Amino acid sequence: MDDKVFVSQLKDGTAVDSCFVIAEKELLDFKSKPGRYLQVKFKDRTGEIWGKCWEEAYEASEKFEIGDVVQVRGNVIYYNGHLQLQFTLRGVQKVENYDRFQFIDSTKQNVNELYTQLRGLTKSFTNIHLKALLTSFFDDPVFEEGFKVSPCAKSHHHNFLGGLIEHTFSVTVICRTMVKLYPALDKDLLITGAILHDIGKIESYKVDTLIDLTPEGGLYDHVVMSYEKIKAKIRDQEDFPKDLERRLLHMILSHHGKKEWGSPVVPMIEEACVLSYADLLDSQTSEFLKVKDQLDINRKSIWSGFSRKLDRFIYLGDENGL
């Protein structure tokens, strides 16, 4: 697949003959006539595009499953604010030999450097218990490997290899800035929570041509898995203060900020409040820039099509300065 054409290269009127991974597929009823059409989300490491097969939809849907890599021949059109790839039954075929790194994106950051910088933060800790706890994680080669390569999500913010450590580093930078603005915050506690808040994601996702949830990630959620991992490490520490344990574990359980966003409890201490907003700030900023970048392709309006991920239209700017 040396002649791979990426989603980011697609424009209105492009004739396509390239490979993509199937991220979603569904048969939908026509609104104005009997029958069904096939809707597919094609994806590679640069983005995603919806595909439509208007005829022989059922037969086309039987040729591949979600996660399969397919060779697609079709044409790109611009419709309702989005690019769309139209194809036929004979224009799609499952392929067996491919380079999966054409379909899974990776962080542009140096993960080894990020890991070194995060580990180095413990040098300034005055709390010996939190320093020992973090060291027990950083000294674990299995943790190190997973922390450096894991994605942070399946389809939302930082959904790429190395996304977890990139997001964690950004959240930590925000928290360190907040400590400078509010010196009354417990710096060691806040930074420990920032580093460890998402570690359950290491075992929450599996990666092949797509990022998918593991059974544990889907059934338990990364918040609970992070809580359990940290609590188990605390048990191995000698004389870890009980109130410090309560505060740290509360930060983990409340870091999504609201119960409707997946937190069992809302933040009830100042460090938990800061962590939840730092997590939200980084995740939303990253998601906003990613969606805007994807929607900016071949645009013909100052407004994007509707973004389901952000639940809004995105203002792309007026190139004429009006």
CA distance 63 to 49: 19
309 in any annotated domain: no
Query: Range of 272's domain?
Result: 104-289
Looking up residue 123, the CATH number of its domain turns out to be: 1.10.3210
Residues 295 and 299: their CA atoms lie apart, in Å, by 7
Question: Average pLDDT in the 126-144 region?
Answer: 97
Q: What is the pLDDT of residue 322?
A: 44
pLDDT band at 2 (very low <50, low <70, confident <90, very high): low
Residues 166 and 64 in one domain: no
Residues 197 and 279 reside in one and the same domain: yes
Long-range contact set of residues 55-62: C-beta below 8 Å, sequence gap at least 24: 55/88, 55/89, 56/88, 56/89, 57/27, 58/27, 59/89, 60/87, 60/88, 60/89, 60/92, 61/25, 61/27
From 81, 101, 121, give the residue that closes a domain. 101
Using CA atoms of 80, 82, 87, 91 in order, give the dihedral in degrees to the nearest 10.
170
Average pLDDT of the chain to the nearest whole number = 92
When divided into structural domains, the chain yields a total of: 2
Kindly indicate the confidence band of residue 81, based on its pLDDT and cuts at 50, 70 and 90: confident
pLDDT one-digit tens code per residue, 213-255 = 999 999 999 999 999 999 999 999 989 999 999 999 999 999 9
With contact defined as beta carbons under 8 Å apart, do 282 and 171 qualify? yes
122 and 88 fall within a common domain: no
Please say which residue of 83, 101, 119 terminates a domain.
Answer: 101
The per-residue DSSP string of 12-64 comes to TT-EEEEEEEEEEEEEEE-SSSSSEEEEEEEEETTEEEEEEE-SSHHHHHTT-
Is residue 322 in some structural domain?
Answer: no
Running DSSP on this structure, what letter comes out for residue 83?
E
> CA 201 to CA 127: how far, in whole Å?
26
Q: How confident is the model at residue 1 (pLDDT cuts 50, 70, 90)?
A: very low
Same domain, 42 and 74: yes
**Helix residue ranges per DSSP H, the chain:** 57-61, 111-120, 128-138, 141-149, 163-181, 187-196, 215-220, 222-236, 242-254, 270-295
Q: Does 264 score more than 50 pLDDT?
A: yes
Angle between helices 242-254 and 270-295 (to 10 degrees): 30
Q: Are residues 108 and 93 in the same domain?
A: no
Domain shared by 38 and 84, yes or no: yes
Is there a single domain that holds both residue 134 and residue 204? Answer: yes
Domain with residue 24: its CATH number is 2.40.50.140
Tokens 């973090």 belong to residue: 134
Distance of alpha carbon 6 from the chain centroid: 20
pLDDT, mean of residues 36-58: 95
Beta pairing, strands 47-53 & 82-95: parallel
The answer to which of 180-184, 203-207, 304-308 has the lowest mean pLDDT is 304-308
Q: Is the pLDDT of residue 133 over 90?
A: yes
Judgement on whether residues 28 and 74 belong to the same structural domain of the protein = yes
Tell me the C-alpha distance between 308 and 37, whole Å. 21
- The residue among 117, 198, 202, 120 whose CA lies nearest residue 161 is 202
- Report whether 316 contacts 302 (CB < 8 A): yes
Q: Indicate whether 73 belongs to any domain.
A: yes
- Alpha carbons 92 and 19: distance in angstroms, whole number: 9
Higher-pLDDT residue of 77, 47: 77
In this prediction, residue 242 carries a pLDDT of 97
- 80 with 192, same domain: the answer is no
Would the pLDDT of 54 be above 60? yes
Task: Identify whether residues 120 and 25 lie together within a single domain.
Answer: no
Q: Which residues of 26-55 are buried (b: 16+ CB within 10 A; e: fewer)?
A: eeeeeeeeeeebbbbbbbbbbbbbbbbbee
* Amino acid identity for residue 47 in this structure: G
Is pTM beyond 0.95? Reply is no
Tell me what the mean pLDDT of segment 108-113 comes to.
96
Sign of CA dihedral 119, 226, 257, 265: negative
pLDDT at 149: 95
